[in-house]
Structure 1
Amino acid sequence: MIELQEAQKAQIKQKGNYAVVAITKHGVELARKLGNTFQNADVYYMGKFEKGDEKEKEIQLFTGSVRLLLPSLFEAYKGLIIIISLGAVVRMIAPLLKDKKTDPAVVVIDDKGEHVISVLSGHIGGANELTKEVAAALKARPIITTASDVQETIAVDLFGKRFSWVWDSAEKLTPVSASVVNEEKIAVVQESGEKDWWQYGRPLPENIKSYQSITEALAAKPDAALVVTHRNLSDDEKQILHNGVLYRPKVVVLGMGCNRGTSTEEIEAVIDETLEELNFSKKSVNALCTIDLKKDEAGLLEVANKNRWEFIYYIPDELNSIPIKNPSETVFKYTGAYGVSEPAALLYSGAETLALMKKKSGNVTISVAVIPY
């Protein structure tokens, strides 16, 4: 808990590039949502709204006036996303302003999450682009008042953030961003994930081209690349990352069943082994799905919570509504469903086929599907 006092610098623990700050009940819910959506955002809110999972989610609580917290955040972060009234924010940051070349981006959100406002460092600091990304994530209205907006192009460090995409490594974010801004030859290769990432009402800029495969993109010899896939790349394909960023869309769905009392370690070991066999990235896992009889299974819950995956369970009738290749009378006898892992993965993903039909390993059964877009 950060205890804020006058004449004392707040001792924050910075991990990401952006800080999300809230001081109200509704603001806290918005802050938590943004913390889950934006991979490189640290969340701060008042201790009186503590929910009990802050340590696990690396959320930082504070007591005292938020005015005393802002100087530390202003100095440390690339951007601040503040869920407080615009007037209050303007008064609090006024004494902190130095230069438009060094001041962080500041974005303000109203308490209902209806409007996202670019307040400070719209161009150089990236507040305008951050405003658009946050607004898209909250389905809110972006408010940008600068006379000329930022280049209508891809923001590399925010690409796909509203869909919760994550990157494998931040190493090439800066040079690839420079290539995009400087209108160099950019290749985009997307094998999976949401397709509606381009939000402008016009075609992609001429310097940005989409390719069907990494091989095709490499042949075009781009200056930089953005690759979106749940798949692990081959050694030859990794050449594209010489000046490229690899994004992981949340498209992999795990359908699972297990014997009562199966350990967390065994469950996670089976998951890791299975994903490696499929050549899928663990960072692309979206959800772990099972039957409602397992909704309190400690091992499954712990694995889902640890990895920040959705934990979904279905009643037998829902599972039985999905046709599977080898329905089991034995499973039906004990659960009321003819299968668990296979229909659970298909139900959540909406896929017509499974990437892995069913694999039994020790006390665990697992099926894998990929969300189609």
Structure 2
Amino acid sequence: MSDQQLIELTEGVVPAITQQGRYAIVAITKHGVEMARRLLHTFPDADLYYMSKFARGDEDTRGIQLFTGSVRLLFPALFPAYDGLILFISLGAVVRMIAPVLKDKKTDPGVVVIDDRGEHAISMLSGHLGGANELTREVAALIGAKPVITTASDVQKTIPVDLFGRRFGWTWDPESEKKLTPVSASVVNEEHVAIVQESGETDWWMHDTPMPPSLHVYPTMTEALANQPNAALLITHRLLSSEEEALTVNGVIYRPKSIVLGMGCNRGTSAEEIEQVITETLEERKFSLHSVKALCTIELKKDEQGLLDVCNKYGWEFVYYTPEQLNEMNITEPSDTVYKYTGAYGVSEPACKRYSGCQTLALTKKKSGNATISVGVLGQ
């Protein structure tokens, strides 16, 4: 074993670790090490750490990292590095040891604690946003333990407000973040909660039981308002009207990735101009920028820096099609001039239609400066 593979934990020094997986497994007892080594075999996306006195001689080949000193000193390095921690350490000890490194639920990793006999896997920290609940179930299944999850929405089999639609890529509107806690309270306390969905994936109910009667799905914002709910979950790509905003007093707006942009532009059009065209167009349509999923264009523009920069800034998919693929789409105003220069009878409209699958777009085509834009909504 080389010196670099032995981590010496010293007060006041953050240890240097070698991260390869998304998760860290840590054990400090004989039985814990046995279970941790077996878990590593079936959970490959993890790095294993245990005390050097339990070394078996195969640590180098298996990539296992050994340490000396108090395991408490290991956590300042593990917390920012891993998505989740799987700890074969007693719950009380973990509570005391990780307290100094806790920040908030949006950044802390999920923490799962397993007892020394491997009978219980406990979701201890960041159960929802940090993914500890899912990790607990997965680890428990692998080692034959009983998963222990205490999050109210999981126990009651209802909607976890802060994770609603996350698996589809939904995000909550920035203005809604401060409403997550009070709306969650309304959900778990079985108050009247209105759900209105105007776009996005519809298979969001995750449990094998019916929705609680306190959750009411309404077809429109207007009908939800008329029934005066205590809280609301609003799934929409639209910007709400002043009247509809009454639902957000104790409501969360979710932004499904449902808007598709088709764009064409002159060579060398700046990212600033492209971004301005997009934001102005969406504001005109009363659509949210946070619901954009993809920007689509012609293959000739696959290296257009302005388009690439805007997509990179917002994390949008950048999709391009050949002229032949675009010409397969029915468009309202085919252009011989566009065909002369690109081989396609249109760019923004057919690109948007091809990706979205929509025959009718929210905005067929608009020319603005050096750019042309079309807007479609998935499923509409």
Q: Normalising by structure 1, what TM-score?
A: 0.71
- The answer to whether the Cα contact below 8 Å between 2:298 and 2:347 also exists between their aligned partners in 1 is yes
CA spacing shift, 1:261–1:175, aligned 2, 3 Å: same
Sort the Cα spacing of 1:142 and 1:255 in 2 relative to 1 into closer, same or farther, 3 A: farther
- The whole-number CA distance in structure 1 between the counterparts of 2:140 and 2:129 is 9
Q: CA deviation at 1:70?
A: 3.3
Select 1:90's aligned residue among 88, 91, 101: 88
Could you tell me how far apart the structure 2 residues matched to 1:131 and 1:92 are? 17
The 3-state SS of whatever aligns with 2:213 is coil
Distance 1:369 1:142 in 2: 44
Within-5 A mapping of 1:46-195:
70-71=75-76, 81-82=83-84, 86=86, 89-90=87-88, 95-98=93-96, 106=110, 119-121=121-123, 126=127, 130=131, 143=141, 145-146=146-147, 150-168=155-173, 169=175, 170-195=177-202
Cα distance in 2 between the residues matched to 1:344 and 1:316: 10
Using the TM superposition, give the Cα deviation of residue 312 of structure 1 relative to its aligned residue in structure 2, in angstroms: 0.7
Once residues 300 and 74 of structure 2 are traced to their aligned partners in structure 1, the CA distance between those partners, rounded to angstroms, is 45
- CA separation of 1:302 and 1:105: change in aligned 2, threshold 3 A: closer
2:334 is aligned to 327
- Distance in 1 (alpha carbons) for counterparts of 2:97 and 2:221: 42
- Tell me the alpha carbon deviations over residues 323-353 of structure 1, each in whole angstroms, 9 at most, x when there is no partner: 1111111111111111110011111112221
What is the CA–CA distance in structure 1 between the aligned matches of 2:304 and 2:9, rounded to whole Å? 44
* 1:71 CA drift (Å): 3.7
Q: Structure 1: which 5+ runs fail to align?
A: 12-20, 29-44, 47-63, 109-117
- The match for 2:368 is 361
Query: Which residue is equivalent to 1:227?
Result: 234
Is 2:244 the partner of 1:203?
no
Which of 20, 24, 42 in structure 1 is aligned with 2:20?
24
Residues 99 and 155 (structure 1), Cα distance of their counterparts in 2 relative to 1, 3 Å cut: farther
Q: Offset of 1:162 from its aligned partner?
A: 0.8
C-alpha displacement of 1:107: 5.5
Deviation at residue 161 of structure 1 after TM alignment: 0.6
- Helix, strand or coil at the partner of 2:178: coil
Q: Counterpart of 2:234 in 1: which secondary structure?
A: strand
What one-letter code is carried by the residue in structure 1 that aligns with 2:88? Answer: V
Asked if 1 retains the 8 angstrom alpha-carbon contact of 2:140 and 2:146, the reply is no
1:141 Cα deviation from its structure 2 partner? 9.9
**Structure 1 residue 188: deviation in Å?**
0.4
Query: How many angstroms apart in 1 are the aligned matches of 2:157 and 2:299?
Result: 46
Q: 1:224-276 CA distances to partner (integer Å, 9 max, x unpaired)?
A: 11000000001010000010001111100110000000011111110011001
Deviation at 1:218, TM superposition (A): 1.1
The CA distance in 1 between the partners of 2:75 and 2:310, in whole Å, is: 35
SS of 1:331's equivalent in the other structure is helix
Is 2:310 the partner of 1:303?
Answer: yes
> What letter corresponds to residue 81 of structure 1 in structure 2?
D
Partner Cα distance (2:330, 2:66) in 1: 57
Of the two, which has the highest radius of gyration?
2
Q: Within 1, Cα distance between the matches of 2:90 and 2:301?
A: 49
Supply the distance in 1 between the matched residues of 2:200 and 2:216 (Cα, whole angstroms): 18
Q: Distance in 1 between matches of 2:312 and 2:66?
A: 32
In 2, the alpha carbon distance for the partners of 1:99 and 1:5 equals: 14
Change in 2 beyond 3 A, CA 1:286/1:225: same
Moved more, 142-151 or 172-181: 142-151
Give the Cα–Cα distance (whole angstroms) in 2 for the partners of residues 22 and 107 of structure 1: 19
The alignment's C-alpha RMSD in Å is 4.0
Q: Distance in 2 between matches of 1:370 and 1:218?
A: 25
Aligned-pair identity in percent equals: 52
Structure 2 length-normalised TM = 0.70
Moved more, 146-155 or 348-357: 146-155
| Contact 2:122–2:148 (8 Å) recurs in 1 | no
Match of 2:249 among 239, 242, 245: 242
Aligned length: 307
Q: Quote how far apart the aligned CAs of 1:101 are.
A: 12
Distance 1:128 1:261 in 2: 41
The CA deviation at 1:96 is 3.1
Distance in 1 between the 2:326 and 2:204 partners? 32
Partner of 2:88, secondary structure, is helix
CA shift in 2, pair 1:336/1:91, >3 Å: farther
Deviation at 1:317, TM superposition (A): 1.2
Given the superposition, is the C-alpha separation of residues 247 and 372 from structure 1 closer, same or farther in structure 2, using an over 3 Å criterion? same
Contact 1:252-1:286 at 8 Å conserved across structures = yes
Q: Does 1:258 align with 2:258?
A: no
Q: Give the Cα–Cα distance (whole angstroms) in 2 for the partners of residues 197 and 317 of structure 1.
A: 37
Whether 2:8 is the aligned partner of 1:7: answer no
